[in-house]
Amino acid sequence: MSGQFLHNLLLFGRVLRRLGLDVNPGRMIDLVSALDHIEIVKKPDFFYAARTLLVHEHDDLPLFDEAFELFWRKPAEGWDVEWQGLTSRKRRPGPIVTHPPLKEAAPEADKASSSSNEMLSVIEVTRTYSDRELLRHKNFAEMSLEEAEAVKQLMSHFLWKVSERRTRRKRPGKGHLIDMRRTLRRSLHSGGEVFSWAYREQKSKPRPLVVIADISGSMERYTRLLLHFIYGMKSALSQPMEAFVFSTRLTRITRPLQIRDLDLALENVGKLVNDWAGGTRIGESLKTFNFEWGRRVLGRGAVVLIISDGWDRGDADLLKREMARLKRNCHRLIWLNPLLGAPDYEPLTRGIQAALPHIDDFLPVHNLASLEDLATRLSSLDRRSNGGGSPVLGAKWPKHEGHPPAQAGGS
Amino acid sequence: MNFTSIDALQSAMHERRYIAERGLATSLYLALKLGRPLFLEGEAGVGKTEVAKVLAALLDTELIRLQCYEGLDVHHAVYEWNYTRQMMHIRLLEARGDHASEAELFGPEFLLRRPLLQAIEDSRQKPPVLLIDELDRSDEEFEAFLLEVLSDFQITIPEIGTIKTSTPPVVVITSNRTREVHDALKRRCLYYWIDYPSFDKELEIVHARLPDAPEKLARQITGFIQALREMDLYKLPGVAETLDWTTALVALDQRALDPVIVDETLGAVLKFQDDIDKVKGEQARLILERVKAEAG
C-alpha cells in the first residue's frame, strides 16, 4: 500500500468523522488490515469493505455513499471546496422554510451584559413565593421574556419519572418464582434437605417515552418553552426517550437533543427542522410516525405524549385512522393541549374531534402548574392501558386555571 | 472450506441457492478473514437468518442458534444446572447412606449447555457458526453481557472456572430494528444492511429456491411484489413473502396470475388488514395489468 494511498485513506476517515459518522482510529486500523484481503483496484470491493467497517447505522448509508463517491473521484487537493456542498446528515426539502423561533429578537445589547441582565431579571421574577405562585399559573403564551427565562430555570429542576412496567427479566427477590439455583445451594448445608425456598421476582423498569410535538404556526407561542420542556425531560429520564416534531412533516429530533449543552442542542434542532411555524398536518405526520418509526420506538410498553392544539388542515379521516393505529401500538396515549387551559375552550376542532376517541388522557399544557400535574400523572400511570371507548368526552372538568381535569381517562 | 476471494464466496453461496449481493459477499468475506462478528440489519423477510444457515452449510460446520427474546438471561443463553438430576443424585447417595459434596454436584455432568456455551466449548474440530437471531428483541442487560462474550470469547462459570476457546465461532447477529441496538456492540461488528432485491435479483432468487415455478408465473409474481414495494403500505412484503406466495400458487397449479387468484391469495403477501383493503380489487388489477404489459 503506497504512502499516498494511506494518507488519503486517513483523510477520508477524518472527513467522515466531520460529517458526523462514528469513525474512530480503531476502525481505520481495521480497514487497513481488511485491505490485505481484497483487491483495492476493484473499486466496488474497496467501497463495500470500507462501508461495512466504517458505517453501522442504516441512516448513515446514503451519506457515506455520497462522501465516498465525491472523495475517491478526486481525493487530491481542492476537494475541500466541493465538500462544502455536502451537508452533514441529509435533509429532505420541506415546503415552508422560516427561521426557528428558538431565539427571541433579543435586546441589542452585547452578549455578556445581556445575559447577566437576563439573570438578574430571572432572580427578580422568581424571588418571592407569591411571585412564583403567580408564575406557576401564568399562561406560557402571555409571558414576557424575563418570565419565560424564569420558567425555563424552574423547568430544568423538574424531576421527571415515568411509571414502571414489569419486564420479563427476573432477579433474586421476593417474587413467586422459585430460584432453583439458590434453593439447591442452600439445601446443601443441610445435606440436600430443602428447608427454605429462594425466590425470584420480575424486574421493573420505567416505560420508554415518546414525545411528538406540534411546531406549526398556531403553536408558535408555545414552541420555544415546549422544546425546553422536552429537552429537560430527556435529560432527566434514565430510560430512552424519543422526540419528534412536526408541522407539515415529521422530524426526529432525538439525536440533537442528546447533546449536553442546551443551547447547542436547540440550535441543532433548529437546523434539522425546516418547517417551523408552517401549516399543520397532524394526520400525515402521525402516519409517517406509525409507518417509519412506530415499530422501532414503540416497543416495551411505551407512553406516547402528543403536544398539539389540534388545529389540523389535513384529512380528518386520516388522522382518525392513524390515531387508532397509534393507540393500538402503545401503552398509553396522552394528548397535551395548551388551549385546554383557557376557561372557554371546547374541543370542537375537526382534528381534536377525530382524535379524542383514541386518547387516554387529554391534559392542558399551558403553564407550569399543568406541567407539574403531568409529572404526577406520568409517575402514577396504572399498570393496564385504558381499555378504549371515549372516556374523555364525557368528563367535565372545572374551568379555572391550575386544576386540569382530574383523571380524565376514567379507569 | 477456505475461500480465497470474494468471487469464490459469492459463487459458492449461489450454488447453495443463496443469491448474495456483492456488498453482502464482501462483508461476509471480511468477517471470516478478520474474525469479526457480522451484524445484519434489514426489513423482515429479506434473508438475514438464511445467511447464517448457508454459511454453516458452506463451511460444513454446525449452526448454533440463539433466538433472542425479552428477559433472555444467562440461564437460557449460556448455561444452567440440571436441578432435577442434582436432586436425584443427592437422594440416590442418601439412600446409600452417603452424602453429596458440592464439587461433585456442580460438575460438568450436571451442566446444561445453552447456545453461547456450546459455541465456545472446544469439543469439535471446526469452529461452528453462531447465529444470534433478532438481537433487538432482547434487553439491554443481555446486550451488555453479549458484548463481553464477543470481545474475548470466554465464559466464566463460578463453580467450574473459565471456559475459553482457541477457535472462536463465526458469529452472525441479526436485527429487525424494533429497538436501536447499542453502538458499542455494533462497533465491534461488521455492519451490513440487506435491502430489498432488485427485480432481476429477486427473480433469480425465486428461480434458485423454487425451480418448479413456471417462468411466466415467477416473472409476474416478482413484478407484482416489486410494484407493491413502491406503494404506501404499512408493512411491505419481503422476499420470504415472494417465496411463500410462489409456493402457494404453484401448489394451486397456477401458471399465471389473474385478478381472482390475486385477491384470494393476497393474505400470503400482505399481513395487515389495512394493506389488504388498499390493494385488493381495483388496485391489484391495475398492478397486474402493468406487470403483464411490462413482461410483454
What pLDDT is stored for residue A194 in this prediction? 81
The mean pLDDT value for A61-90 works out to 65
pLDDT at A131: 63
Residue where a domain terminates, one of B194, B214, B237: B194
Residues A378 and A390 in one domain: yes
The three-state secondary structure class of A46 is helix
Cell for A294? 412506530
* A chain contacts of residue B86, beta-carbon cutoff 8 Å: 184
Look at chain B and count its residues.
296
Same domain, B223 and B171: no
pLDDT at A81: 43
In chain A, the percentage of residues whose pLDDT exceeds 90 is 18
Q: Which one has a higher pLDDT value, B133 or A221?
A: B133
Q: What is the least distance, in Å, from the CA of B137 to any CA of chain A?
A: 9
pLDDT above 90: residue A103:
no
Residue-averaged pLDDT of chain B? 92
Out of A204-218, A381-395, B199-213, give the one with best mean pLDDT.
Answer: B199-213
C-alpha cell at B18: 443463496
In this complex, which of A181, A299, A300 lies closest to B81 when CB atoms are compared?
A181
- Do B46 and B135 share a domain, yes or no? yes
Whole-angstrom Cα distance, residue A365 to residue A30? 51
Residue B287 CA: distances (Å) to CA of A370, B261, B280, B292: 52, 14, 11, 9
Nearest beta carbon to residue A299 from set B23, B178, B193:
B178
Residues of B at the A interface, defined by Cβ within 8 angstroms: 6, 22-23, 26-27, 29-30, 33-34, 36, 39, 41, 69-71, 73, 75, 81, 83, 86-87, 90-91, 94, 99-100, 102, 105, 139, 141, 177-180, 183, 186-187, 189-193, 232, 234, 274
Q: Are residues B83 and B62 in the same domain?
A: no
- The answer to whether residue B44 scores a pLDDT higher than 70 is yes
Distance CA B219, CA B292 (A): 9
My answer on whether B28 and B151 are in the same domain is: yes
**A351 within domain boundaries:** yes
How confident is the model at residue B296, as a pLDDT? 59
A134 inside domain: yes
The pLDDT of residue B288? 94
CA distance B44 to chain A (A): 12
B171 and B139 together in one domain: yes
Domain extent for B100: 79-113
Is the CB of residue A282 less than 8 Å from the CB of residue A349? no
Stretch B72-92: mean pLDDT: 90
Q: Is the pLDDT of residue B118 over 70?
A: yes
- Judge: B26–A191 Cβ closer than 8 Å, yes or no: no
| Highest mean pLDDT: which range of A131-140, A230-239, B69-78 | B69-78
CB contact under 8 A, B87 and A168: no
- pLDDT grade for A183, boundaries at 50, 70 and 90: confident
Over residues A238-250, the mean pLDDT reads: 89
Find the mean pLDDT for residues B149-175: 90
- The model's confidence at residue A86, banded by pLDDT at 50, 70 and 90, is low
Residues A299-349 have pLDDT tens digits of: 888 999 999 988 877 788 899 999 999 999 999 999 998 888 777 788 777
Using DSSP's 3-state secondary structure scheme, residue A172 falls into strand
C-alpha cell at A40: 483495492
Based on the fold, state whether residues A273 and A356 are members of the same structural domain: yes
Type of residue numbered A39: E
Asked if the structure places residue A101 within a domain, the reply is no
Residue B207 pLDDT grade (very low, low, confident, very high; cuts 50, 70, 90): very high
| Residue B24 sits in the same domain as residue B101 | no
| 8 Å CB contact between A218 and A247 | no
Q: Is residue A146 located within the same domain as residue A265?
A: no
Residues B31 and B52 in one domain: yes
For residue A404, being part of any structural domain is answered with no
Same domain, A308 and A347: yes
pLDDT at A109 over 60: no
Contact A167 B23 (CB under 8 A): no
pLDDT in tens, A4-38: 888 889 899 998 988 888 888 888 999 999 988 98
- The C-alpha atoms of residue B133 and residue B142 are separated, in whole angstroms, by 13
CA A89 to chain centre: 18
Q: Cα A381 to the chain's mean position, in Å?
A: 20
Distance from the Cα of A202 to chain B's closest Cα (Å) equals 9
Dihedral (C-alpha) A317, A320, A322, A326: value to the nearest 10 degrees? 180
Of the candidates A266, A219, A244, A246, which has an alpha carbon nearest to the alpha carbon of residue A365? A219
Interface residues of chain A, partner chain B, Cβ below 8 Å? 22, 24, 27, 30, 33-34, 37-38, 44-45, 48-49, 51-53, 55-58, 61, 167-170, 180-181, 184, 188, 191-192, 240, 290-291, 295-297, 299-300, 321, 325
ipTM of this model?
0.78
pLDDT at A372 over 90: no
State the cell numbers at A237.
Answer: 429520564
* Predicted local confidence at residue A248, as pLDDT: 85
A57, A184, A192 ranked by CB distance to B94: nearest: A192
Alpha-carbon distances of A386 from A267, A328, B32, rounded to whole Å: 37, 11, 51
pLDDT digits (tens, 9 = 90+) for A268-283: 888 888 777 778 889 9
Shortest distance between the Cα of A270 and any Cα of chain B, in A, equals 24
pLDDT tens-digit series, residues B91-112: 888 888 887 777 888 888 899 9
The answer to whether the CB atoms of A52 and B191 lie below 8 A apart is: yes
Residue B205's nearest CA partner among B16, B24, B44, B49 is B16
- Same domain as B238, residue B154: no
pLDDT of B14 above 60: yes
Nearest CA in chain A to B136: A296
Q: Which amino acid is at A260?
A: R
Partners of residue B190 in chain A, C-beta under 8 Å: 52-53
Please give the share of chain B, as a percent, with pLDDT higher than 90: 70
- Of the candidates B90, B192, B193, which has its C-beta nearest A192's C-beta? B90
Query: Of how many residues is chain A composed?
Result: 411
Per-residue pLDDT at A188: 77
**pLDDT recorded at residue A123:** 39
Domain identity same for B233 and B250: yes
Residue B12, domain member (yes or no): yes
Residue A62 host element (H or E): helix A61-73
Distant-in-sequence, close-in-space partners of A380: CB < 8 Å, separation ≥ 6? A163
Residue B83 to residue A180, Cβ atoms within 8 A: yes
Clarify whether residues A220 and A356 are in a common domain.
yes
H or E segment to which residue A376 belongs:
helix A368-379
Please state the φ and ψ torsions of residue B166, each to the nearest 5 degrees: -95, -20
Task: Give the pLDDT band of residue B32 (cuts 50, 70, 90).
Answer: very high
**Count: domains in chain A:** 4
Residue A48 has what pLDDT?
93
Burial of A221 (0-12, 13-18, 19+ CB in 10 A): middle
Kindly state the DSSP code that residue A289 receives in the 8-state scheme.
I
- Residue B246, pLDDT score: 97
Q: Is the pLDDT of residue A115 over 70?
A: no
Residues B227 and B290 placed together within one structural domain of the fold: yes
Closest CA to A30 of A5, A46, A8, A49: A49
Q: Decide if A214 contacts A272 (C-beta within 8 A).
A: no
Domain with residue B122: its CATH number is: 3.40.50.300
Given a cut of 90, is residue B30 above it in pLDDT?
yes
Give chain B's domain count.
3
Same domain, B139 and B164: yes
DSSP string, chain B: ----SHHHHHHHHHHTT----HHHHHHHHHHHHHT--EEEEESTTSSHHHHHHHHHHHHT--EEEEE--TT--HHHHTEEE-HHHHHHHHHHHHHTT----HHHHTSGGGEEEPHHHHHHS--SSSPPEEEEE-GGGS-HHHHHHHHHHHHH-EEEETTTEEEE-SSPPEEEEEE--SSPPPHHHHHTSEEEEEPPPPHHHHHHHHHHH-TTS-HHHHHHHHHHHHHHHHS--SS---HHHHHHHHHHHHHTT-SS--HHHHHHHGGGT--SHHHHHHHTTHHHHHHHHHHHHHH-
In the prediction, which pLDDT does A107 show?
39
Identify the domain containing residue A182 by its residue range. 164-206
Q: Are B20 and B10 in contact (CB under 8 A)?
A: yes
Instruction: Say what the pLDDT of residue B27 is.
Output: 96
Same domain flag for A202 and A217: no
pLDDT band at B47 (very low <50, low <70, confident <90, very high): very high
Average pLDDT in the A157-167 region?
A: 81
Instruction: Please list, in sequence order, all residues whose beta carbon lies within 8 angstroms of the beta carbon of residue A230, skipping any fewer than 6 positions away.
Output: A211, A213, A243, A257
CB A29 within 8 A of CB A21: no
- At B33 the pLDDT is 93
Least confident among A221-235, A280-294, B267-281: A221-235
Report field, pTM of the whole predicted structure over 0.90: no
Cα B31 to Cα B50: distance, rounded to the nearest angstrom: 16
pLDDT beyond 70 at A392: no
Which are the contacts of B1, defined by CB distance < 8 A and separation ≥ 6?
B12, B58, B59, B60
Judge if B16 and B149 occupy the same domain. yes
